[in-house]
Chain A
Amino acid sequence: MIQELSKAFSDPKIWEKIGAQTVEHLYLSLTAVALALLVAVPAGILLSRRPKLAQPVMTVVGLLQTLPSVALLAFMIPFMSIGNKPAIAALFLYALLPILRNTYTGIRSVDPAAKEAGRGMGMTPLQLLFLVELPLSFRVIMSGVRVSTVLIIGWATLAAFVGGGGLGQLIMSGFAMVRGSLILAGGIPVTVMALLTDFLLGRLERAVTPRGLRV
């Protein structure tokens, strides 16, 4: 094990690969999460205004989430061929649910008294959204973003199998050649990336909590 470890990281060429693939990996994950944010946050806000619509939409998106990520990625190939596009599309769909659900629950759980107070101060609905509802639900939304991002960083390793790049490539060739050192060279950076993201976004989550809501 130790031997494999030293073999994995002593070769300078491997570091070049790790660097390049880390950048690709971040690009894949962040693009998917950013697209999901653009769709899921407005959709969550809309759904919070139409609770009747929320139930069926959540059910559909929830079922989408239960699909094995490999299967979801596989479904994209007949339509989008290979490369990073099908990977980003599958990861995007996968990232939707946690953000959508948390935006919806976050906005719905804002204390009605706070909204009432805002309205009493003469806020327009838009002001109410941006000055009261979003700030008060920001922590819950951020927690959805954290869950999504960590999930996506993990599953982005599969992109390698459809030619989408990322750290999965090292792991994949490690499997193909049954070489432990390659698996470690890809696996360790991606694990560190996921743990670090979880930690940092967790800190951010606490930092953006309005002082009045901190326990």
Chain B
Amino acid sequence: MELLLKTFEYMSNHAPRLLDLTGQHLKLALLGVLYGAILAIPLGYLISRYKKLADPVLWVANALQTVPALAFVGFVMLFLGLTPATGITVIFFYSLMPIIRATYTGITSVDPAMIEAARGMGMTRLQILRMVQVPLSLAVLMVGIRIATVIAIGTAAIMSLAGAGGLGQEIFAGIDRVQDRMILAGALPAAALAVAAELGFSALERLLTPRGLRQTSTVR
């Protein structure tokens, strides 16, 4: 309890720097996920059209996901050096798997009857994508983006090792100097960011679920 009070005092005394680190942290995480989404969403759509590609693409994305974060940062650092680009690249690779899989699941789980109905109404393939498949799979896609973002905020906490800044800088400095309040001053905001992302995106998912698909008292 006393430690918590000390931590808050420390945090308010160093608010500008901590805010700065929080900003860096968010920038790393969000840019990584953004670039990931730019590649992963089209790729997820592609493998839902060409099912033969699905297994190899998902296999590669899964293998990337399996690489331990600290090792990954180290490998990428050898190529890109001690810059934020290293952090963003690692987060980019980690974002691929959740978003590809969510896009793929979202598109393939659209009821074929709906697509049939749309085709029957004379919609072109692009119209079907825009007016049927995208709205119906948006909520599932958001699950992928949420998972990717939470993972990104978590991994961004080690990017200070690669000179990319972020809240990890405060945590590792605290560990080095055996300063509990410094450790907590970095860890608390990082944890809050992750929880906020989780809760915020969950709310967004509910909002993006078309009314007809929301789970109400199922009438049969």
Contact = CB atoms under 8 A, between A and B. Distances in A.
Interface of A: 1, 4, 62-63, 66-72, 74-75, 77-78, 150, 153-155, 157-158, 161-162, 168, 171, 174-175, 178, 180, 183-184, 186-188, 190-191, 194-195, 198
Contacts of B171: 70-71, 74
Contacts of A154: 66-71
Contact of A187 (B70, B180, B195): B70
Contacts of B66: 150, 154, 191, 194-195, 198
Contacts of A161: 172, 175
Give the most central of B82, B175, B198: most A CB within 10 Å: B175
A153 B68 contact: yes
Nearest to B65: A150
Contact of A174 (B74, B168, B180): B74
Interface of B: 3, 62-63, 66-72, 74-75, 77-79, 82, 150, 153-158, 161-162, 168, 171-172, 174-175, 180, 183-184, 186-188, 190-191, 194-195, 197-198
A198 B156 CA distance: 24
Given A70-B154, A162-B175, A198-B66, A171 B198 contact: no
Nearest to A78: B180
B98 to A, nearest CB: 13
Contacts of A150: 66
B112 to A, nearest CB: 21
A63 B195 contact: yes
Contacts of B157: 68-71
A168 B175 CA distance: 15
Nearest to A1: B78
Contacts of A195: 63, 66-67
